[in-house]
Structure 1
Amino acid sequence: MSAQHCLRNVGLLALVAAFLLLPTFLLGPGDSHSVTYNYVWTSQFGTEMAKGNLYPRWLPGSFEGLGSPAFYFYPPIAFWIAGAFDAGGLSTLAAINMAAFLTLLLSGIAMHYWLSARGTYPLAGAILYMAAPYHLMDFYIRGALAEFTAFIWYPFIALAITRLPNRRGVIMLALAYAGLVLTHLPMAMLTGFFLIVPLGIHRILADRRAFWPLTVGVVIGVGLAAFYLVPALTMQGYISSQLLWGAWYRPSSWGLLANGPLLQVLPIPLLIAGLALLALSARSIWTVISLLTTLAALGLIPFLWDIPPFVQAQFPWRLLGLIEFAAITAVLSCRPKPILLGLGLALAAFSYVRWTAEAAEYLTQPVPYALIKRDLPDAVEYLPAGFDTNRITDFERKPDLSEWRDIRASDEVVADRSGEVTMRRAAFPIWRVMRGDEVVPYQGPVIHFQAQPGHYRIERVTMWREWVGLLVSMASLLLLAVVFAADCTTWAPISFLRSRIFRWSRSAPKLP
């Protein structure tokens, strides 16, 4: 494909993305499920990035100034993008819209790249992928900016696996899977089981040499993301993480056989069924992946969502993003059967109609941005451990923080007499209270301690988990460089490393 043709296709996809997001450009982000978090996180990312803090794990303004460790646990890529636009001078709402535009465009480009390699209607497939019902619903109704961004990575992961055992496939798989982990952790886990495993097995059956490259690619991908993963997975005890696992957030509650709420959101199971019918038109690995993922998303695989790590997925219908990707790939790989095509499109059309009406309602509802900007409410699961959950409203999930509103925000305090001192900072182990050179123990959920007369200050410390994660990521980057230097025609990583070490030892100067 010529450069001119490529640029023309990118320009066309940019026009499609602008058209699909025209309502949010005209009216601003609607009152979606996560509109508050998108605003709170984007605005603070932008502020911190403008100060030179390029990875703001701690958000100082959240929870009315108590602060939040949200990005010790939440992947950063979507808010790196939105925060960069905010730091660059756009308003927070414009930054959210531009992040959505860029990620939607990139997902279309990724799908075009994937289908071009297959020779199956790349432009049409890219447009279908961008305009797929759940893809748009994820932004307009759920406001799930990170999951919306995750759509970028599925085509790259699939393309990487089909290129194995070539080293380019290993490198692409490592980078794409690391990107997905750093974008949306539940989707990274689900993608591992429902895309990488079946497609990887299919590739290994075709070429047994693909086993080690597949394994190494995934391992390096996880390792590259370790600077985020290690703190996220080892510090859950310092926050109110139990709030993530109530009945509403248990994936087993959403199955068709569980008498759960899935049928209350009828477009979801109907869309899943419609996409499965479309995939049935083809007889390929993509049909298998579509049907397997469909059964899982509908809760029709017994006990699946009660088994770790699936129990941490929260909502099984997150798989809709993968189902849309697999179904579009499948249907463009063959001449679809008219009956299956008609039924599938009819069910998908029902989802469009329902979600378009719902999105229009959200777009026209006023959003209390003045209150959001004043209080910067954050997700309650990031409240410090020990916070009284009775202080949290059931519906809005908003905590009562009135007890600490009258405390002056400061990193320092002077105690005139002995007694308890409370500082306006949520307790988290990155904070250390000092009196001179003495470390003062404190309790939570908001930092308080028994003080003697004197001057006290809060210092920021780096956790061992941050250093370990960073070292693992650097080691993985080094291993990726080794793969890059390896022979792409024969893939035997252990032999390759052994030969390089032997060659180095032979050429190293001898000690006297």
Structure 2
Amino acid sequence: MAALMRALGVRGLASVLLVLVVALAALSALLGAPIYGSLLGHDADFAIMSIHLLGDGWAHGTLWPRWLMGANHGLGGATYYTYPPLSHWVAAAVTRGLGVAEDVGVPLTMGLWRLLAVLTTWLWLRRHVPPAAALVGAAIAALLPYASLINPWIRFAFAETAAASLLPLLLLALERAAEGRRTEGLPALACIYAALAMTNLPTCALAAHLGPLYALGYAGWRGFGRSVLGGILGALLAAAFLVPAFGLLRETNPADFHNPWWKENMLGYSAPSPYLLVIWGSGLLMVGLGLGLLRPALGGTPRAGLLAPGLPRALLVLFAASTWLATVLAYPVWVAMPQLAATEHPWRALGHLVPVVAALFALATARRPDRWWVVPLGLALTLMVPAFLFARMHLGNPGWVHFVPFGERLTVAEHHYRGSSWEHLPKAAAAAGWATIHGGGAEPYARPVPPEGTERLTDGFLVHRAAAPFRLPQFYFPAWRAHDAMGPVPLRATPEGWIEVAVDRPVTDLVVEIGITPQERIGYAISLLTLMGLLGVLVQRVRWRPQEAPAPLRSAKG
């Protein structure tokens, strides 16, 4: 094997590993999204259904349909008021661009996120090692079970997989900002943090705490301060989403208010379920690989070099902090910092170990490219995924159905109780007991019948005539507005959670629709001002950048 490794060289090794990564990513496109079942496809129905409704909004000219009328089995949901839309925008664009249904486009985009993670990890690592060694580390990271099995298959964590592809860019931006002078590197760092916030809030919340620690290890307190400043600018840049998300949070049914069992997900807190056992096992594998790679990757670094600012210290800090946050040892911190508890699952911190293991592999390969065990490890990690999927499809309860043909999967998502998230129920609907339908239960109340002749619009209703208060088959939310030619008409929530139009005069051609909330207006204004400020910084840097003196012209003789 050692002779084979020498014959392959680092470029050959990187090519072999990259082929394995592409093969695994292709499985997403070939098999599609799994049906929710034992240890598989937990969030697939939500992703497919939400992106399908988002595409419907696009088809009717609504670029950011924050309220989805088709969610919750046609009763509406505040999905994109509180759920970051960026990864879903990309999936909807891929789906519409290829002219396919969401049950094809969403799994295909899932595979693209996994390939994008290889590219972004390579872009980060090539700053520190030769390109071929950087590709080895990036490919191995994509083959780790957390990245190749847990998120894309067991959880089908679509947005979290997309956010994972941005984490290496965050580390790259943190390094450049720490190395830069004045405002250099800060606009790029702000953009990456904003993109994370618009993609997956739990990943962003963890990165907002772990990113400054990485910068502290990389460049000391100066790097820490610049990373915090970049994070603040990123939050302001993403205010168009963040202000409505947090401003309207108490009008919805958020998980952190109703899920006090986050501590059960901490490694070492309680006995694990099979689901947690698989997740924790993937995390412990990364911890073990990281510990085993410390000597090959950093063994030649003097002790003073490990303690001095730079990549080795930054990796050690991120490795220790990510591992610690996922365990019961960090329990006091999670209790004291509700913004961490709001991420629901402490094991999400394990996702920040993936780039650390990638970097250690890249450094070890750059130091000694003939490590014989890299190819067998890559093969073992690759075969783990199809073996797991085969076991879930062919072993156990014969009634479990995990994959259905394309064309039928979207129908399954439309009728499945997990096609919408109970977290996006409006407050009034949740208080009325509508969360029970997300456990597979029946609807607690009969749906109201609107006035005769009412037309259902893309984002509301057109009521031709009414002379008394009436109800509509949509959940009440503060964004709803009603008006006719005579002016606005008040709305209110019923005890069952419905919209009630409090008509106190005869109305004609009354439009009941989703309007822009004050929180949205404030968010858009903050984002626009921040964007203008960052663009001004970039223009100033280009304008005042010192120009190199031209080289002296040589005479024809000399």
**What's the TM-score once normalised by structure 1's chain length?**
0.82
Q: Which residue of 2 aligns with 1:291?
A: 320
Identical columns (%): 22
User: Per-residue deviation at 1:438?
Assistant: 4.0
CA pair 363-165 structure 1, distance change in 2 beyond 3 A: farther
Once residues 174 and 112 of structure 2 are traced to their aligned partners in structure 1, the CA distance between those partners, rounded to angstroms, is 25
Q: Which residue of 2 aligns with 1:241?
A: 254
Q: Which residue of 2 aligns with 1:23?
A: 27
Q: Which residue of 1 aligns with 2:524?
A: 470
CA pair 353-461 structure 1, distance change in 2 beyond 3 A: closer
1:101 counterpart (94, 97, 111): 111
Q: Which residue of 2 aligns with 1:309?
A: 339
2:476 counterpart (413, 427, 451): 427
Once residues 469 and 293 of structure 1 are traced to their aligned partners in structure 2, the CA distance between those partners, rounded to angstroms, is 31
Q: How far does the alpha carbon of each residue in 1:79-125 deviate from its partner, in whole angstroms, 9 at most, with x for none?
A: 00111123332211111022112222211110111111111511111
CA contact (8 A) 1:271 1:348 kept: no
CA pair 176-45 structure 1, distance change in 2 beyond 3 A: same
1:259-274 → structure 2 map (5 Å cutoff):
259=270, 261=272, 265-274=276-285
Once residues 14 and 346 of structure 1 are traced to their aligned partners in structure 2, the CA distance between those partners, rounded to angstroms, is 11
Q: Which residue of 2 aligns with 1:277?
A: 288
CA contact (8 A) 1:177 1:221 kept: yes
Q: Which residue of 2 aligns with 1:448?
A: 500
Other structure's SS at 2:185 match: helix
Whichever residue aligns with residue 263 of structure 2, its letter is S
CA pair 304-341 structure 1, distance change in 2 beyond 3 A: farther
User: Per-residue deviation at 1:141?
Assistant: 1.4
Once residues 34 and 413 of structure 1 are traced to their aligned partners in structure 2, the CA distance between those partners, rounded to angstroms, is 36
Deviates more, 1:163-172 or 1:329-338: 329-338
Q: CA RMSD in A?
A: 3.7
Once residues 54 and 141 of structure 1 are traced to their aligned partners in structure 2, the CA distance between those partners, rounded to angstroms, is 31
CA contact (8 A) 2:455 2:463 kept: no
Whichever residue aligns with residue 437 of structure 1, its letter is G
CA contact (8 A) 1:47 1:87 kept: no
2:155 counterpart (142, 149, 158): 142
**What's the TM-score once normalised by structure 2's chain length?**
0.76
CA contact (8 A) 1:65 1:375 kept: no
CA contact (8 A) 1:251 1:315 kept: yes
CA contact (8 A) 1:409 1:424 kept: no
Give the number of equivalent residue pairs: 477
2:207 counterpart (191, 197, 221): 191
1:161 counterpart (163, 174, 182): 174
Whichever residue aligns with residue 197 of structure 1, its letter is P
Q: How far does the alpha carbon of each residue in 1:117-167 deviate from its partner, in whole angstroms, 9 at most, with x for none?
A: 111511111211222211122111111100010111111111112222425
Once residues 110 and 53 of structure 2 are traced to their aligned partners in structure 1, the CA distance between those partners, rounded to angstroms, is 18
Once residues 447 and 160 of structure 2 are traced to their aligned partners in structure 1, the CA distance between those partners, rounded to angstroms, is 34
Q: Which residue of 2 aligns with 1:131?
A: 143
CA contact (8 A) 1:433 1:442 kept: no
CA pair 54-457 structure 1, distance change in 2 beyond 3 A: closer
1:209-220 → structure 2 map (5 Å cutoff):
209-210=222-223, 213-220=226-233
2:329 counterpart (300, 303, 320): 300
Q: Which residue of 1 aligns with 2:62?
A: 53
Matched, 1:413 2:428: no
CA contact (8 A) 2:13 2:136 kept: no
CA pair 22-244 structure 1, distance change in 2 beyond 3 A: farther
Whichever residue aligns with residue 484 of structure 1, its letter is L
5+ unaligned residues in a row in structure 2: which ranges? 1-11, 36-40, 299-311, 395-399, 546-558
Q: Which residue of 1 aligns with 2:191?
A: 175
Once residues 350 and 277 of structure 1 are traced to their aligned partners in structure 2, the CA distance between those partners, rounded to angstroms, is 19
Once residues 211 and 134 of structure 1 are traced to their aligned partners in structure 2, the CA distance between those partners, rounded to angstroms, is 28
Q: How far does the alpha carbon of each residue in 1:350-391 deviate from its partner, in whole angstroms, 9 at most, with x for none?
A: 975885456656884447642533688411121221224644
Matched, 1:65 2:74: yes
Q: Which aligned segments of 4 or more residues in structure 1 are displaced greater than 6 angstroms?
A: 8-14, 335-338, 344-351
CA contact (8 A) 1:129 1:328 kept: yes
CA contact (8 A) 2:28 2:110 kept: no
2:43 counterpart (25, 28, 34): 34
Once residues 439 and 384 of structure 2 are traced to their aligned partners in structure 1, the CA distance between those partners, rounded to angstroms, is 26
User: Per-residue deviation at 1:431?
Assistant: 0.9
Deviates more, 1:153-162 or 1:326-335: 326-335
Matched, 1:400 2:443: yes
CA contact (8 A) 2:143 2:378 kept: no
